[in-house]
Amino acid sequence: MSQRRDVVITGLGVLSPIGIGVPQLYEHLRENRSGIRIWEAPEFGIRLPAGRIEQDFAGEFTKLELPYLDRCSQLAVLAARQAAEDAGISRFDAYGGRAGLYFGSVGGGVKVEHDWVKEFHVQRKRVAKPYTIMACMLNSAPAQISIRQQILGPVMTHSSACTSSGSAIGDAYRAIRDGYLDVAIAGGAEACLIPTFTALWTGLRALAEPDPADVGRSCRPFDKNRSGLVLGEGAVFFVLEAHECAKRRGAEAYVRMRGYGIASDGYHIGSPKSEGQIACLQAALDDAGLKAADIDYLNAHATATPGGDPVEARAINAVLADVPVSSTKAIHGHLLGAASALELAITVLAVNRSFLPATAHLDEIDPACALNHVARTPVFGRPLRNAMSLSAGFGGTNVALVLSNDLGVPTKSGLDV
């Protein structure tokens, strides 16, 4: 197309450690209430803080469906359904090939895969059950969603570590903006709280120790006394739609999606580099047609690791100095492939509800992480013109997404969903 189309977010679905659905998510953010709890497994032998969803969703599916649905797929299917219902679209087949689905994850159906490896090596089984491969493949969740929602256009799976869902959402936005699609479901899911996968992270020596006084305070981004990241699980999906399509069907929207930047460090498989994050932030601003002074809030990636937070702080200061910044991982943990999606959802609510989310437990700012921090307490009654969410992943892929409040369609709060 010769002209870029405006894109709005008309649906939001959330299953997270800080709420099931938009109303619960908003309440947790208002109260800065942590969803981080102790996670342990007998095989593991240690106790760790984790962003957990204390709910089993198997009852939402039939006995015939369950063998094909790892917990990751269960979370994804339910969150995507919630987003579609929120947008007022029950099925997408009427859009034909102009409806798409973009999904991000690190582990996908990793529990099914690891269970089969155990059966192979310990129980000496030599033939897997016929559904095993379809339950553990990385594109299992989006395939299940596309079948149920009848999404007949592109169904794409992204896996770029902690930016997986961010690049998925960004590519969905571009496809609609540039005229290839009219509507898309985009987001991510992760369900990696299993012993074998979590043990991989203990090998990195990057996980936080449980706070002895309050496990909910175990994740402390930007704080001088931070001890590492906290893993989490969940699924978050959006319905992105061309403005003209939303207007035609009388749909309300949360925010306008305005910009997408992606850049790679080209530096190290496990260590970030400020230059890549700077390039990503600037690319997002350029794509949105905005300047740094136009951004009123940034949701930072900040994982509470000693090496990661200062690198990100330098990048933010280089591009967005003085912009209010917070990392909500302090209350929900790091959802890996779904991290970008959850943090973008929080940024959506910040713009939609005119408030600044806070970095909980930020009692003593690390001098190497000096920023305009929104520390400990959210700030309410703060209209935001534009806001940004930044994510950075192993391998060096960085993603930034820009949201604006200039909708052109009626605004929805989502709090009555």
Return the active site residues.
162, 301, 334
Q: Give the three-state DSSP class for 326.
A: strand
Task: Return the C-alpha torsion angle 215, 398, 169, 159, nearest 10.
Answer: -80
Q: Is residue 414 part of a domain?
A: no
Range of the domain at 32: 7-404
Check residue 211 and report its DSSP letter. Answer: P
Angle between helices 308-320 and 274-288 (to 10 degrees): 40
- Find the CATH number of the domain harbouring 321: 3.40.47.10
What angle in degrees, to the nearest 10, is found between the helix axes of 110-121 and 71-87?
170
What does residue 9 show for φ and ψ, rounded to 5 degrees?
-100, 115
How far from each other are the two terminal CA atoms of the chain, in whole angstroms?
35
For position 413, what pLDDT does the model report? 82
Helix, strand, coil in percent for the chain, rounding step 5: 40, 25, 40
**pLDDT at 416 (0 to 100):** 56
Q: Is residue 52, in this structure, part of any structural domain at all? A: yes
Residue 410 lies in a domain: no
Burial 265-290 (b: 16+ CB within 10 A, else e): beeeeeebbbbbbbbbbbbbbebbeb
Q: What is the pLDDT of residue 43?
A: 78
Does the residue 84 lie in any domain? Answer: yes
Contact 9/253 with Cβ under 8 angstroms?
Answer: yes
Q: What is the pLDDT of residue 370?
A: 97
Sequential pLDDT tens for the chain (417 residues): 458 999 999 999 999 999 999 999 999 999 999 999 999 987 778 899 999 999 999 999 999 999 999 999 999 999 999 999 999 998 999 999 999 999 999 999 999 988 888 889 999 989 998 899 999 999 999 999 999 999 999 999 999 999 999 999 999 999 999 999 999 999 999 999 999 899 888 888 889 999 999 999 999 999 999 999 999 999 999 999 999 999 999 999 999 999 999 999 999 999 999 999 999 999 999 999 999 999 999 999 999 999 999 999 999 999 999 999 999 999 999 999 999 999 999 999 999 999 999 999 999 999 999 999 999 999 999 999 999 999 999 999 999 999 999 988 889 987 754
Closest CA to 346 of 10, 22, 7, 84: 22
Total domains in the chain come to 1
pLDDT number for residue 1: 47
User: Is the separation of the CB atoms in 405 and 256 below 8 Å?
Assistant: yes
The verdict on residue 59 lying in a domain is yes
**412 inside domain:** no
Place of tokens 């709890």: 37
- Answer yes or no: is 133 within a domain: yes
Residue 103 within a domain: yes
Q: What pTM, to 2 d.p., does this model score?
A: 0.97
Closest CA to 154 of 102, 209, 207: 102
